């Protein structure tokens, strides 16, 4: 895990090195162990390292077989690739990225299809071609920007803005998506690239640079598909599930530094905890966040029960009102690509608590999407007369000038499934290509990287995805239960998880904390330029006076904080003070 940045098409090496160094220093929090900047013919790249594998020899850029690579993330099957291609005598380091260079020398870009992991990398080939590549689920981010003949890339948009002045927000669709959906959709007409000229690689995308031109191999860009092996047949037994999950957790534990997990006590994190407990001789360190607020749904009881059953080294942290006001502006700063998901808040606090004890954290993102866990999936399978409705976002954003209609239309376009899927698979697919990379994985990456931690997601493994997505619908949703097979597995391997108990759901009591100051916040939030540009100012004020609209207060407050920080240049503390009237 780290941060990467670079410029391709360089003609002025000295200027490029100054620019790249400034870019990587902007995201140095991603790699607290050190920074390296290096130039070559037509390129300059930089790497901020968080040392995970081969602590001494794994510094990047790496050079081998005539090529150079700089990457963010982990290639989990590097040991298997080394053995399969008999690379043992060719490797100069123990880095998980070095085998890729030797594979590229043998197979060219076909080598990218062999990778199992989470990654975003730039490979400068000895054959004169340069590649930018992102993993199939979009676990690791990669953003680009073109200026004339120069191609810039970096792990976070903030690095690309180091030498460019961001202009006022000029895309109403961008605000509409963030406030209506909770995240933005890359390459839709309203994405924030409309004013930043920043283009993210989509999950699974491969860009090639040859003869000075970067883009897709074909003239028309093809929307990449996640690695689901659509239409495959699987053995849906508990034993088969056990084998594929154990294999994934095994490779996700590959690390030369301390690792543990975030434990909510729910199905997904408990599954990972159960397997980690099985695979480790010593107690696995697990962190849980609870809420100090009346009426909040607290997960600590379930997590503690699981921790005792699995003999985990369980550590709890609390999130209260003071944490909310302290952390909210910090999260807005960390999320330069915005999502209003309030789960960012406890994720940030968990990372803050784990820093110094752990460097690698396993997490349960992807379990609901792949195994059919969401209630909206079950509703989508019911007839309308039994309360059924499509598994698509339920827009409640009357304060937007367009009411959020444009965001929903763009979501429908972005989530259009390939042919041949069942209705359940269509709903799963929509989440996998929209919400998962642009909300859940973005949240995990930014909140953990802000503290120099690596987040790993064992459910989002090629083998697990191919297995889970292609399970028969009845193995995922049965009656009132989602994740049916996963629950059956837990019933056998960790009954303390109470896998058939009614799920309480996950909420962060943001409305409770905002309520006492809502009257003062409303007018100030309505007065923020980005808010007034794209929202009905009177409707925004009404959100903060009408208790029935309390659920909309956090998205508006976050967007106001975000815009003050990223559009107007305020530091996080000053942005919050401006909204609270403490400036």
DSSP string, 557-575: HHHHHHHHHHTT---HHHH
Last residue of a domain, one of 184, 215, 246: 215
Write the DSSP string, 26-63.
Answer: HTGGG-TT-EEEEEETTEEEEEEE---SSTTT--SSEE
- CA gap 180, 184 in Å, rounded: 9
Is residue 226 a part of any domain in this protein?
A: no
Question: Are 333 and 433 contained in the same domain?
Answer: yes
pTM for the model stands at 0.95
> Are 466 and 248 in contact, with CB atoms under 8 Å apart?
no
Is residue 223 a part of any domain in this protein?
A: no
Question: Are 446 and 567 contained in the same domain?
Answer: no
Question: Are 335 and 451 contained in the same domain?
Answer: yes
Question: Are 402 and 317 contained in the same domain?
Answer: yes
User: Cis ω on the peptide bond leading into residue 61 (within 30° of 0)?
Assistant: yes
Last residue of a domain, one of 215, 230, 260: 215
84: CB partners within 8 A, 6+ apart: none
Which CATH number do you get for residue 489? 3.40.50.620
Is residue 157 a part of any domain in this protein?
A: yes
Question: Are 491 and 560 contained in the same domain?
Answer: no
Question: Are 267 and 400 contained in the same domain?
Answer: yes
What stretches of 138-237 show up as alpha helix (H) in DSSP? 157-160, 172-180, 193-196
- CA gap 66, 17 in Å, rounded: 22
The sign of the dihedral angle between the CA atoms of 327, 202, 402, 384 is negative
- CA gap 215, 210 in Å, rounded: 9
Provide the domain limits for residue 355. Answer: 238-497
Question: Are 405 and 517 contained in the same domain?
Answer: no
Looking at the structure of the chain, the number of domains it has is: 3
Exposed, middle or buried: residue 234 (CB in 10 Å: 0-12, 13-18, 19+)? middle
Is residue 311 a part of any domain in this protein?
A: yes
Q: How many CA atoms lie within 13 A of 65 on its CB side?
A: 21
Which CATH number do you get for residue 108? 3.60.20.10
Question: Are 489 and 356 contained in the same domain?
Answer: yes
pLDDT of residue 520: 94
Q: Which of 280, 278, 277, 302 has its CA nearest to residue 289?
A: 302
Question: Are 376 and 473 contained in the same domain?
Answer: yes
Is residue 232 a part of any domain in this protein?
A: no
Which residue's structure tokens are 């502006």? 329
Last residue of a domain, one of 497, 531, 558: 497
CA distances from 574 to 349, 422, 560, 579 (A): 21, 50, 12, 9
Q: Which of 504, 367, 360 has its CA nearest to residue 436?
A: 367
> Are 122 and 467 in contact, with CB atoms under 8 Å apart?
no
Question: Are 178 and 38 contained in the same domain?
Answer: yes
Detail the DSSP E strand segments found in 277-352.
Answer: 285-291, 313-319
The sign of the dihedral angle between the CA atoms of 330, 273, 373, 481 is negative
427: CB partners within 8 A, 6+ apart: 376, 377, 380, 390, 391
Distance spanning both ends of the chain, measured CA to CA: 37
Is residue 222 a part of any domain in this protein?
A: no
- CA gap 507, 408 in Å, rounded: 23
From first to last of its 583 residues, the chain has per-residue pLDDT tens of 699 999 999 999 999 999 999 999 999 999 999 999 999 999 999 999 999 998 899 999 999 999 999 999 999 999 999 999 999 999 999 999 999 999 999 999 999 999 999 999 999 999 999 999 999 999 999 999 888 889 999 999 999 987 665 544 445 567 788 999 999 888 765 444 444 578 889 999 999 987 655 554 433 444 567 888 776 678 889 999 999 999 999 999 999 999 999 999 999 999 999 999 999 999 999 999 999 877 677 788 899 999 999 999 999 999 999 999 999 999 999 999 999 999 999 999 999 999 999 999 999 999 999 999 999 999 989 888 888 888 899 998 889 988 888 889 999 999 999 999 999 999 999 999 999 999 999 999 999 999 999 999 999 999 999 999 999 999 999 999 999 999 999 999 999 999 999 876 668 999 999 999 999 999 999 999 989 988 999 999 999 999 999 999 999 999 999 999 988 889 999 999 999 998 5
Is residue 200 a part of any domain in this protein?
A: yes
Between helix 441-449 and helix 344-354 the angle, nearest 10°, is 40
Question: Are 284 and 190 contained in the same domain?
Answer: no
Is residue 227 a part of any domain in this protein?
A: no
- CA gap 30, 20 in Å, rounded: 15
Question: Are 316 and 394 contained in the same domain?
Answer: yes
């Amino acid at each position: 895990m780290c941060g990467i940045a670079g410029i391709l098409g360089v003609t002025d090496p000295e200027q490029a090195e100054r620019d790249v160094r400034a870019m990587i220093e902007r995201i140095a929090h991603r790699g607290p162990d050190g920074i390296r900047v290096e130039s070559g013919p037509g390129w300059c790249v930089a790497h901020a390292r968080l040392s995970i594998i081969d602590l001494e020899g794994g510094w990047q850029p790496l050079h081998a077989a005539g090529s150079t690579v700089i990457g963010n993330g982990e290639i989990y099957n590097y040991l298997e690739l080394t053995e399969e291609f008999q690379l043992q005598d060719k490797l100069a380091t123990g880095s998980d990225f070095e085998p890729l260079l030797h594979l590229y020398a043998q197979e060219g870009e076909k080598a990218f299809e062999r990778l199992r992991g989470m990654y975003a990398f730039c490979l400068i080939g000895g054959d004169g071609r340069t590649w930018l590549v992102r993993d199939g689920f979009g676990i690791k981010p990669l953003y680009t920007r073109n200026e004339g003949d120069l191609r810039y890339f970096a792990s976070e948009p903030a690095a690309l803005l180091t030498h460019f002045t961001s202009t006022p927000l000029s895309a109403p669709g961008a605000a509409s998506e963030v406030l209506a959906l909770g995240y933005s959709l890359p390459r839709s007409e309203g994405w924030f690239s409309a004013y930043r000229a920043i283009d993210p690689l989509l999950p699974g995308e491969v860009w090639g640079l040859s003869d000075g031109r970067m883009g897709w191999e074909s003239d028309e860009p093809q929307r990449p598909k996640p690695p689901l092996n659509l239409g495959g047949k699987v053995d849906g037994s508990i034993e088969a599930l056990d084998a594929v999950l154990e294999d994934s957790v095994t490779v996700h534990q590959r690390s030369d530094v301390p690792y543990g997990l975030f434990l909510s006590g729910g199905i997904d994190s408990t599954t990972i905890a159960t397997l980690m407990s099985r695979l480790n001789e010593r107690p696995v360190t697990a962190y849980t966040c609870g809420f100090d607020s009346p009426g909040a749904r607290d997960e600590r009881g379930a997590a503690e029960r699981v921790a005792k059953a699995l003999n985990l080294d369980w550590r709890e942290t609390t999130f209260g009102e003071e944490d909310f006001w302290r952390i909210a502006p910090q999260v807005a700063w960390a999320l330069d690509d915005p999502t209003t998901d309030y789960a960012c808040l406890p994720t940030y606090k968990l990372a803050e608590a784990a820093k110094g004890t752990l460097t690698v954290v396993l997490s349960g993102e992807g379990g609901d999407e792949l195994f059919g866990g969401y209630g909206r999936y079950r509703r989508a399978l019911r007839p309308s007369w039994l309360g059924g409705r499509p598994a698509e976002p339920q827009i409640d954003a009357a304060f937007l000038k367009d009411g959020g209609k444009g965001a929903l239309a763009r979501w429908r376009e972005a989530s259009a499934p390939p042919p041949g899927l069942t209705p359940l698979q269509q709903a799963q697919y929509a989440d996998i290509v929209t919400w998962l990379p642009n909300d859940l994985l973005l949240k995990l990456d930014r909140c953990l990287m802000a503290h120099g931690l690596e987040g790993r997601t064992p459910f989002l493994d090629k083998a697990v995805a191919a297995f889970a997505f292609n399970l028969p619908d009845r193995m995922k949703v049965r009656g009132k239960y989602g994740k049916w097979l996963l629950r059956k597995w837990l019933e056998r391997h960790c009954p303390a998880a109470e896998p058939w108990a009614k799920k309480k759901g996950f909420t962060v009591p943001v409305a409770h904390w905002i309520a006492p100051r809502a009257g003062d916040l409303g007018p100030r939030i309505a007065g923020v330029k980005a808010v007034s540009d794209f929202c009905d100012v009177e409707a925004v004020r009404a959100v903060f006076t009408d208790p029935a609209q309390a659920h909309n207060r956090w998205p508006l407050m976050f967007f106001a904080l975000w815009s003050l920080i990223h559009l107007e240049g305020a530091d996080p503390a000053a942005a919050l003070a401006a909204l609270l009237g403490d400036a």
